[in-house]
Structure 1
Amino acid sequence: MIRDGRQDSDSGGGRQMDRELTIATELAEWATRRIRRPRAIGDVSDVREKDGPADIVTATDEAVETHVRTVLRREFPEYGVEGEEHGVHAGTPGAPHWLIDPVDGTTNYAHGIGWCSFSLGLATPQGEPLLGVVADPWRQEIFTATRGGGAHLNGHPIHAAAHSTLTGHVFLTEWAAHAHWPGMDHLLRELATRHCTVRIMGSTALSLAQVAAGRATAAAIGEFHPVDGLPPLLIATEAGAVAIPQLPPHNTPLLLTAPGAAEEATALWQKTVLNHSA
């Protein structure tokens, strides 16, 4: 188990997150093993559409979420649970709630592309992040954070990049499902003029987590969904990244940026995205 570097973190109510983080990390380790099971090339027998051809689910998504929900409800019966595939289980009023995306990047997974993630978070009843875990099954990396406890990768502290500009560095973004989101084209054009290398990889949680690791100077999404966005948002900000806004409403844009590039990135964000998404 990955345990080095874990720190207790105050939840805002005087309670520690050590047990929650231990179990969340163990579930991430289990999920990485489950997701890495071989799938035959071209096998679509376990794939079905949800809301359209670009919104799919596999048997792995459902099996992972079912197992994780079972463990969390057993270990934390008073907590709520919200999952990508199986909806909401209400907990005790005033208790935190878990957020599960069993396979973030299902399209990549279903097509044999090794870039997807397992995402698990814990939030207050008001939706503020308390704990975040993002696991990359293919690189066997587990990003973790608790509020006030810093960010870690496989137990080692991580920090956002020290870059002072977007120029020459990596900027990660994602489609809104299969479509461009308002302001996305304007943003991409401006980034190109700055010689900033843009990548669209196919997993919101994993892309946002790269800012925490210092691999990407910034990352942005057009539609924030807590089940896959809140855990890496906490991880990135605990690693020192700047979030614009600090906690987005559902279905609104989010920018994460290294602190040294925050002034440039924020001005660009205002010009290209916020002015086109109102």
Structure 2
Amino acid sequence: MISISSNLNLMIKAAEKASKSVIRDFGELEKLQVSKKGPRDFVTKTDKHVENILIEELSKAKKNFSFLSEEVGKIENKDKENIWIIDPIDGTTNFLHGIPHFAICIALKSQKEIISGLVFDPIKDEMFYAEKNKGAYLNNQRLRVSNKNLIDECLFSSNHEGVKFSNLNMRYSGCAALDLAYVASGRFDGYFHNKINIWDVAAGALLVKEAGGIVNDLDKFNTNNIDIRASSGAINDKMLENLKNF
């Protein structure tokens, strides 16, 4: 068993607890697809519920840490140097349509730097996590980015705009956090996206770096307007060359 910090341990426990209601609600969705009220209100409720569980669990052990979250925005507590960045469900549209590809994301920013990150896919039971200078893992297995260096053999991911723009081999999965986790694990070779939010990419960017990949400097951007470029070192220059006008 690898040794992890108490903070990461706390993040894992919080994500596991929150995932129980996500899995239960996901199972309920099929019944809702046919109801008049429709699933959209339901998903918003799930999102808020998961966020509440995460905030509650993380606050138990770290009462003073601040929060930045997709649903509630900023919560400033006594400790403003340590900030939990959370996205209760990244990939809500997938969730809404009963597609089992979404994730719970938690990152810890300390002294302006992401030091711990977690992306949990509750349906596939895949827990991706990383700590600064300690490597990236999937369910206790060490992760490495891919080492393919022929761009035609590589597979990249982006959002709708990126897929339209690019002549690379592309996927559009609808879940940025898992896209980055997949780059870290070598399933994808690179990921790029313009104007994305910090809570979608904070944990995943650390995963990619700790798995030996390259991520551009996200601090240059506003928290809700990030242009991210992440890939293995082997293909980074070629990917960026292809994205010059993106």
TM, length-normalised to structure 2: 0.90
* Distance in structure 2 (CA, Å) of the matches to 1:266 and 1:246: 15
Partner of 1:119: 105
Q: Are 2:10 and 1:23 aligned?
A: yes
Deviation string for 1:21-79 (max 9, x for gaps)? 0010111222332211112421554523xxxxxxx952111111001101212210121
Q: Is the Cα contact below 8 Å between 2:14 and 2:58 reproduced in 1?
A: no
* Distance in structure 1 (CA, Å) of the matches to 2:55 and 2:218: 28
* Distance in structure 1 (CA, Å) of the matches to 2:22 and 2:117: 19
Q: Are 2:207 and 1:235 aligned?
A: yes
2:40 to 29, 38, 47: 47
* Distance in structure 2 (CA, Å) of the matches to 1:202 and 1:217: 17
Q: Are 2:2 and 1:5 aligned?
A: yes
Aligned residues: 238
* Distance in structure 1 (CA, Å) of the matches to 2:205 and 2:108: 12
Gaps of at least 5 residues in structure 1 are 8-17, 49-55, 274-278
Alignment of 1:45-124 (within 5 A): 45=38, 47-48=40-41, 57-124=43-110
**Cα deviation, residue 6, structure 1:** 3.4
Q: Is the Cα contact below 8 Å between 1:78 and 1:95 reproduced in 2?
A: no
* Distance in structure 2 (CA, Å) of the matches to 1:110 and 1:185: 24
* SS of equivalent to 2:134: coil
Percent sequence identity is: 25
Deviation string for 1:203-236 (max 9, x for gaps)? 1111111100000011111123111211000011
Q: Is the Cα contact below 8 Å between 2:66 and 2:80 reproduced in 1?
A: no
* Corresponding letter in the other structure for 2:149: S
Structure 1 residue ranges, 4+ long, deviating more than 4 angstroms after superposition? 43-46
* Corresponding letter in the other structure for 1:28: A
Deviation string for 1:156-202 (max 9, x for gaps)? 11010011132122111124xxxx37xx643x1x32xxxx2x11011
Q: Is the Cα contact below 8 Å between 1:160 and 1:212 reproduced in 2?
A: yes
Q: Is the Cα contact below 8 Å between 1:99 and 1:120 reproduced in 2?
A: yes
TM, length-normalised to structure 1: 0.80
Q: Is the Cα contact below 8 Å between 1:166 and 1:217 reproduced in 2?
A: no
* Distance in structure 2 (CA, Å) of the matches to 1:88 and 1:94: 11
Q: Is the Cα contact below 8 Å between 2:198 and 2:226 reproduced in 1?
A: no
Change (3 A) 1:218 1:248: farther
2:134 to 140, 143, 149: 149
Partner of 1:208: 180
* Distance in structure 2 (CA, Å) of the matches to 1:249 and 1:98: 19
Partner of 1:221: 193
